[in-house]
Amino acid sequence: MKKVVFINFGSARFTHRQMLQLLSAKLAGKADQVYGFQPKHLKELGFYGTHPWFHPSQRGFAFWSWKPFIIHHALRQVQDGDMVIYSDVGRPWVRMFHHSLGSVQRWLEELRQDIMPGIYIPYTGTIENWTKAATLNQMEALSPDMLNSPPIQTSFSVWRKTPATVRLAEEWEEKCRHLPLVGDYDTNTDIPNGPSFKDHRHDQAIFSILCFQRQLKALDAIGGQRPEVDKDLDAWLQLQGAPPSGACTDALLNGLSATTRKLESAVRTCLRK
């Protein structure tokens, strides 16, 4: 396997959590390189120019449209065949790694594709439930099979660089530049939603449609099982049987995590006084 690159994103408020996850990806996950993107990097890379409608008050910091932006950027920086792995930092606390990230290659082999786009979440409903009608119409995603398919949760994803995966990341990023597609439902401008509509899942809704249109499969279960916290990539790695990190590495990471959590709690307590 070629180089494994791990990336994440965090606002300045959660830099310490972001750094903990990056450290665990390097020490326990055995990633060859790790990169933590922050709002200042988005500015340097031109994100605000391609998303002129951005406002800090928006959900998910521009409706999570930074996610395809940083994934596409990372893919452009690596060599063909290299692996780019993305994961959310996590809430209420950081999602750290205690298993080797190299095991994700098995998922690509089992899926017979160069991307593991995320996990199916059928227990939440369907693409129709979680995508506003305006986006479904503009993306020509109105077939019954599409509407009744489970959405893909994009808390983490795995990308092996090929021309096809770069094109997918590019199209995902491009779609998420358009506020009418990625933004919240707007009663003043959007067409009415159907009776089964619950909410619009922004970047995730767009990505679920793109993957369905390309007949790309997501991760569903391993041996008929799913982790209790299915947003946690490390929990999936453990279920996969990925090599665990050593006792010393675990002790270091757990100690840093506990100390950082106490410091964060103490700071919040002081600020409330």
CATH number of domain containing 68:
3.90.550
pLDDT band at 1 (very low <50, low <70, confident <90, very high): low
Residue 63 has pLDDT above 80, yes or no: yes
Q: What is the Cα gyration radius of the chain?
A: 19
Per-residue pLDDT reduced to its tens digit, 211-263: 999 999 999 999 899 999 999 999 999 999 999 999 999 999 999 999 888 88
- Stretch 55-70: mean pLDDT: 95
- The answer, yes or no, to whether the previous bond of 92 is cis (omega within 30 of 0) is yes
Tens-place pLDDT, residues 33-42:
999 999 999 9
Q: 177, 230, 176, 162: which is closest to 207 by C-alpha?
A: 176
CA distances from 104 to 22, 215, 246 (A): 17, 20, 19
Question: Which residue range is the domain that position 134 belongs to?
Answer: 4-272
Alpha carbon 200 to its chain centroid, in Å, reads: 16
**What is the number of domains present in the chain?**
1
Percentage of the chain modeled with pLDDT above 90 = 86
Average pLDDT for 49-64: 94
Strands (E), the chain: 4-9, 33-37, 83-87, 115-116, 119-120, 152-153, 156-160
